């Protein structure tokens, strides 16, 4: 009887918030919101869609924008759909949270809180969200995501990641650069500069490390160069391979497919992972040798997480690995 990785390896199962779809697509204009939801259905939910009430709404038209968002949430969707509301201390925050809870609370996959400045502010926002959802008759509120884009948020990033309602932290590149009042050059907001400036890299690494320490998902910032898809793919690969990000923002439909590819594991590594894990299972998870390298349960856990991630992303895996690890046993 073969022992499954779940039973053989400690920490083989991720906590519920540890894995999210690798692309989070933001849209705030009606035409693009409808197009994004249709594309999500076509792609069978392989990416999240975040409907934007903050930057998407015209000043003074926040209530009308919520009308639109609620209408879209109540309609057909093809996967997880979240909403970005205004900052916790903004006058529109209470209205948006109340209406979303009462009019579309059961349809919301998550709520994004922007411009968080402290753990205390996050706590206040989380309490208010939970209250609104309970008042609307729901057992609990949705998972929260938060944007780290201020000095205060970066200073308390570990506490933000530790909050029980948080499932993901995102880096707000442009607001973070702007908060330095010209001390960081504008080029640091570009697709190349954001991987070179030390202060920006420091922020990205702090967010990623805090998320991984608390079992949450680090989400990488946008690339604003909409037409340069080669640069976009390179940014996605660097975010994943160099900085440990497992999720990334898209702000144009053309960015979704390149980012899904960039954040996916390499096929050759998946083949190697399958070979190593099948051999390990045959050896009852004792140490094994593969291509003249020793492997034991420490590396087995790495390769198991890799295969699990690919399986969740609906990426094709070697047939033997699918049969052994992802096919329910027959009675």
Binding residues for Mg(2+), as ranges, are: 149, 175
Residue 322: partners with Cβ closer than 8 Å, 6 or more residues away: none
Question: Packing angle between helix 91-104 and helix 62-74, nearest 10 degrees?
Answer: 20
Q: Which residues of 280-293 are buried (b: 16+ CB within 10 A; e: fewer)?
A: bbeeebeebeeeee
DSSP string, 7-42: HHSTT-S--TTS---SEEEEE-SHHHHHHHHHHHHH
Question: Packing angle between helix 30-42 and helix 253-263, nearest 10 degrees?
Answer: 40
In terms of Cα–Cα distance, which of 207, 164, 19, 167 is closest to 82?
Answer: 167
Binding residue ranges for substrate: 84, 149
Binding residue ranges: 84, 149, 175
DSSP string, 136-195: TT-SSPPPEEEEE-SHHHHHTHHHHHH-TTEEEEEE-HHHHHHTTTTSS-GGGGSTTGGG
In the numeric block, which tokens belong to residue 74?
A: 């109540």
In the numeric block, which tokens belong to residue 191?
A: 């697709």
Assess contact for 306 and 241: CB atoms under 8 A. Answer: no
Beta bridge partners of 57: none
Exposed/middle/buried for residue 329 (C-beta within 10 Å: 0-12, 13-18, 19+)? exposed
Query: Could you give the 3-state DSSP secondary structure of residue 235?
Result: helix
Q: How far apart are CA 36 and CA 25, in angstroms?
A: 8
């Amino acid at each position: 009887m073969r022992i499954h990785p779940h039973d053989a390896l400690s920490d083989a199962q991720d906590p519920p918030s540890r894995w999210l779809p690798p692309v989070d697509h933001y849209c705030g204009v009606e035409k693009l919101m409808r197009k994004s939801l249709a594309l999500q259905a076509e792609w069978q939910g392989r990416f999240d869609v975040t409907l934007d009430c903050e930057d998407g709404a015209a000043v003074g038209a926040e209530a009308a924008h919520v009308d639109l968002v609620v209408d879209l949430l109540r309609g057909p969707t093809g996967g997880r759909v979240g909403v970005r509301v205004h900052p916790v201390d903004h006058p529109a925050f209470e209205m948006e949270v109340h209406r979303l809870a009462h009019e579309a609370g059961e349809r919301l996959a998550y709520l994004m809180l922007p411009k968080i400045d402290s753990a205390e502010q996050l706590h206040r926002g989380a309490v208010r969200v939970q209250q609104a959802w309970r008042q609307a008759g729901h057992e609990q509120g949705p998972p929260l995501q938060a944007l780290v884009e201020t000095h205060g948020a970066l200073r308390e990033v570990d506490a933000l990641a530790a909050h029980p309602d948080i499932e993901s932290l995102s880096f707000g590149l442009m607001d973070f650069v702007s908060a330095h009042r010209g001390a960081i050059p504008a080029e640091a907001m570009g697709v190349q500069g954001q991987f070179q400036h030390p202060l920006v890299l420091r922020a990205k690494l702090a967010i990623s490390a805090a998320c991984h320490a608390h079992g949450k998902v680090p989400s990488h910032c946008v690339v604003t160069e909409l037409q340069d898809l080669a640069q976009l793919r390179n940014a996605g690969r660097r975010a994943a391979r160099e900085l440990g990000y497992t999720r990334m923002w898209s702000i144009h439909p053309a960015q979704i497919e390149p980012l899904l590819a960039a954040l996916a594991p390499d096929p050759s590594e998946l083949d190697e992972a399958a070979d190593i894990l099948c051999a390990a299972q045959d050896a009852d998870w004792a140490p094994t040798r593969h291509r003249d390298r020793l492997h034991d349960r420490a590396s087995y856990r790495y390769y198991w997480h890799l295969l699990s991630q690919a399986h969740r992303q609906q990426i094709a895996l070697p047939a033997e690995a699918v049969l052994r690890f992802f096919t329910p046993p027959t009675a």
